[in-house]
Structure 1
Amino acid sequence: MAMRTLSACCLGLFLATAASAQEAAPNLADPTPAKGWIVTLGGSLQLGPKYDGSSSAGLSFMPSLSWRRVGEKPGFSAPDDSLDYALYETDRFSVGVAGAFRSGRYSGSNNRLFGLRDVPWSVEAGVFAEFWPILDRLRTRVEVRQGFHGHHGVVADLSADWVERFGRFTLSGGPRLALGSASYMRRNFGITLPESLANGYLAAYRPSGGAKSIGLASALEYTWSEQWSTTLFARYDRLISEADRSPLVRTSGQRDQFTVGLGMNYSFQFGN
C-alpha cells in the first residue's frame, strides 16, 4: 500500500511539473507576426536640368517616405522611383499606386523663354508594377501617371535595375525609358504660333505623343546602422524623337540631360 501511494505521489508530481513547464515554455509555432512598423523618412538633394530639355542646371530637394512591418526584410527602391504604396505583393511581384512631383518651367528663368507660357509645377498620380525575373538581383518596373495642375497629360516610366549587395554597400543601376502623351509633350516641348511670334527666336512646334527619352541610372547606398543610410546616385537621359526635335531643345537647350544627387534616410520603429 505504501509503494502504491508513493507511485501515485510521484505520478502526480511529474504531471504537475510537466504542466508547469508547458505553461512557461514559449510557443515557437506562434503564428502571430511581430507588432509595430519600421518607418523610413528621407530626402535627396539633386542637381539636374531646371526643366525638360534645359541646358542649365538647378538644385532641388525631393522627400521620401516608406514603411514596413517589424521583422520584414527591407525592400529595394531606386532613387528615381516615385513614391508608392503596394496594394498586392509577393516575393517577385507587386502592384499599387504611385505619385510624383514635377517642378515647372518659368519664362523668368531664361531670357530665351520670353513670350512662352509658364509650365507650373505638377503632381502626377497613377499606378506601378514591379517584377523580379531574378529574385533579389534583377528588378523591372513600370509606372503610368496622370498629371494635374501644371500639365494634364499621361507619362510612363519603364526601368530595369541590377542589384548587388556587398556588406553594407548596395550597388544598383540599369536602363530607363520615358514616354509621354501628346498633351504632355505639347505642354513641355511645344511652341504655339503666338508664342513663337512673341519670342522672336524659337520656331512654332507641335509635337505628338511617344518616346521622350532613353537613359541610364545608377546608385550606391551605404548603410551606416539600422537607423541611418546614405545614397549617391546619378542619371543620364538622352531626349529622343518628338522631344529632341523641339526648338526648346535644339535651339535653346540640349538633348543630353544629367542628374546627380545625394540622399539620406533615417529609420525608426513605430507602434507596439
Structure 2
Amino acid sequence: MAGIAVLLSLANGAASANDDDDDDDDDTKRVLTDPTPAKGWIVTLGGSFQVGPKYDGAKAFGPSFMPSLAWRRVGEPAGFSAPDDSFDYAIYDTDRFDVGVVGNYRSGRYSGSSFRLFGMRDVPWAIEAGVFAEYWVVPDRLRTRIEVRQGFNGHHGVVADLSADWVERLGSFTFAIGPRLSLGSASYMRRNFGVLPAEAALNGTIPAYKPGAGAKSVGFASSLEYTWSPSLSTTVFARYDRLVGDAGNSRLVDRLGERNQFLFGIGASYSFQVGG
C-alpha cells in the first residue's frame, strides 16, 4: 500500500508539472500573439547643405540649405528617402505603396546676379505643391516614385519628377543610385527658359525664344548614408542632370548657361522619441 501511495503521488506531481508547462506555453503564445502596442513616436530632424546651379540652366554654382522632418511610430523601421525627394506626407501608406501630398522650394533667377542677364525679367523663388506616389517594385531594393507639383509665386506651371532608386544596405551603410526624369508644362518652360521679344531687344545678345511643354532634363542621382547610432546618421549625395528638348535649346542655356547640371551635398539627421 505504501508503494501504491508513492506511485500515485508521483503521478499527481507529473500531472501538475504538465499543467504548469501548459500554462507556460499559453502565456508564451499570448505574449507572441497579443503584444502590447508600442507607444510614442520617433521624430527625425535633419538638414542638408548643398552646392548646385543657382537656377535652372545656370553655369554659376551657389550654396543652399534644406531642412527635413520625418516621423514614425515607435517600433516601425525607418524608411528610405532619397536626398532629392521633396518634403512629403503620406496619406495612404503600405509596405510597398505610398501616396500623399508633397512640397518643394525652388530658388529664383535674378538679372542683377550677372551682367549677362541684363534685360531679362526676374524669376522669383517659387513654392511647389502637389501629390506624390511611390512603389517598391522589389521590396526594400527597387523604389519608383513620381511627384507632380504646381508652382506658386515664381512660376505658375506644373512640374513632374520621375525617379527610380536601387537601394543596398551593407551594415551601417545605405547606398542608393538611380535615374531621373523631369518634365515641365508650357507655362513653366516659358517662364524659366523663354525669352520675350522685349527682353531680347534689351539684352542684345540672345534672340527671342518660346519653348513648349515636354521633357526638361534627364540624369541620375546617388547617395551614401552612414548610421552612426540609432539616433544619428550622415549622408553624402550627388546628382547630375542634362537639360534636353526645348529647355536645352534655350539661348539662356546654350549661350549664357550650361546644359550639364551638377549638384553635390552633405546632410545629417538626428532622431529622438516623443511620448510613450
- TM-score of the two chains, using structure 1 as the length reference: 0.90
Which amino acid letter does the alignment assign opposite residue 142 of structure 1? I
1:40 offset after TM fit, Å? 0.5
1:28 offset after TM fit, Å? 4.3
CA distance in 2, matches of 1:152, 1:33: 46
Corresponding residue of 1:99? 103
1:177 to 181, 184, 207: 181
Deviations 1:72-123 (Å, cap 9, x if unpaired)? 0100000000000111111111111110000111111111111111111100
Corresponding residue of 1:258? 262
Query: What secondary structure sits across from 1:160 in the alignment?
Result: strand
Alignment pair present for 1:74 and 2:78: yes
Corresponding residue of 2:153? 149
Consecutive aligned runs of 4 or more in structure 1 exceeding 2 Å deviation: 24-33
Alignment pair present for 1:189 and 2:188: no
Query: What secondary structure sits across from 2:34 in the alignment?
Result: coil
Query: What secondary structure sits across from 2:252 in the alignment?
Result: helix
Moved more, 106-115 or 253-262: 106-115
Corresponding residue of 2:138? 134
Query: What secondary structure sits across from 1:119 in the alignment?
Result: coil
CA distance in 2, matches of 1:271, 1:149: 38
CA distance in 1, matches of 2:189, 2:66: 23
2:42 to 28, 38, 41: 38
Corresponding residue of 2:240? 236
CA distance in 1, matches of 2:142, 2:200: 46
1:249 to 247, 253, 269: 253
Corresponding residue of 1:208? 212
1:66 offset after TM fit, Å? 0.6
1:224 to 225, 228, 231: 228
Corresponding residue of 1:9? none
Corresponding residue of 1:116? 120
1:203 offset after TM fit, Å? 1.2
Give me the identity figure in percent.
68
1:142 offset after TM fit, Å? 0.3
Structure 2 spans left out of the alignment, 5+ residues = 1-15
Alignment pair present for 1:59 and 2:63: yes
1:199 offset after TM fit, Å? 1.1
1:202 offset after TM fit, Å? 1.7
Tell me the number of residue pairs that the alignment of Structure 1 and Structure 2 aligns. 259
CA distance in 2, matches of 1:186, 1:271: 49
Query: What secondary structure sits across from 1:52 in the alignment?
Result: coil
CA distance in 2, matches of 1:50, 1:111: 15
CA distance in 1, matches of 2:172, 2:53: 31
Alignment pair present for 1:164 and 2:168: yes
Query: What secondary structure sits across from 1:249 in the alignment?
Result: helix
